[in-house]
Structures are given as C-alpha cells and as structure tokens.
A = this chain, B = another copy of it.
Amino acid sequence: MNNERIEHLLRTHPRAAETSATTREHAATLAALLECLLACNACADACLAEEHVSRLRRCIRTDLDCADVCAATVRVISRQTETPGELLHQQLHACIIACQTCADECELHRDMHEHCRLCAKACRHCQELCNRLLGELSAAGTVPANPLESPSLS
C-alpha cells in the first residue's frame, strides 16, 4: 500500500487534518509502521528457524516487542476522531524506542542474516518517521510541546 493511497484514505475522514502536510506525514508514518510490523514478525520467525537460534534470542524478543508496539501505534494513529494529544505523543515515543531497540539488535546480525538486515532497515525508517511526526505534532501544538518533562502519572 503506497503512501498516496493511504493519504487518500485519510482524507475521506469528516474531520481530516486541515493541512495537506499533516495528512501526508501521517500517511507516510502509517506505511512505515505497517512495513516495520511485518518485517519484525517475519524476522522473528526467520530467526526461529535459523540453525543457531540460541544466539538470536534477544533478536526474536525485540522483534516481537517492536511488532506489537507498532501494531498498537498503527491503530492509534489511523484514528482522527477526538484525538487525545498526550496519548498520541506517548505512544509515538514508545514506538520510537521499540524501533530503535530492535534496529540496534538486528544490525548486529545484518551480515549473517538478510532478514535481520531488512528488518533493521524497516525499523530505522519507521523510527525516523515516527520521530518526524512527533516533531510536526509538537510544532503544531496538537500534542503537548514537551510532556516528557511533566508527566501526569496519576
């Protein structure tokens, strides 16, 4: 699914973001998230089938975590009705860390396993787009400028 089709889909929402730029940013991030979750699931399963699976325990673990966090992020980001800004911010932040953690681990095995190389690439791209979207949303005031300094933890 290419970015243009996702962008077209998002624009059909009755409360679609007013500026084209924001919707384009969302669409690109969703495409990256879907690719990342698929790459992580496939990499975890490929690692499981490798002869030296015992050396890939951490890789499988971070793959599965990243796939799960990306899946939740896709769902949250694909909604445009009454978006709760702080949650959007925090979920994007968790996703950035998940992608970064998984990319760091997969890169250790990229010369041995092509699936790790592809997965690291997908994670790194997703991390960048989530990071950029977070920046856009903060600049636009959609999410708190810096909620990390004042978390309202109950």
- Interface residues in A98-130 (C-beta closer than 8 Å to B): 98, 100-101, 113-115, 118, 127-128
Main secondary structure on A side of the interface with B: helix
Please tell me if the beta carbons of A38 and B45 are within 8 angstroms of each other in the complex. Answer: no
Please tell me if the beta carbons of B72 and A15 are within 8 angstroms of each other in the complex. Answer: no
Q: Which residue of B lies closest to A135 (CB)?
A: B153
Does any Cβ of B come within 8 Å of A131's Cβ? yes
Q: How many Å lie between the Cα of A115 and that of B153 in the bound state?
A: 24
Please tell me if the beta carbons of B34 and A9 are within 8 angstroms of each other in the complex. Answer: no
- Chain A interface (Cβ < 8 Å from any Cβ of B): 1-2, 5-6, 8-10, 12-15, 30-31, 34-35, 38-39, 41-42, 45-46, 48-51, 53-54, 57-58, 60-62, 64-65, 67-69, 71-72, 74-76, 78-84, 86-87, 90-91, 93-94, 96-98, 100-101, 113-115, 118, 127-128, 131, 134, 148-149, 151-154
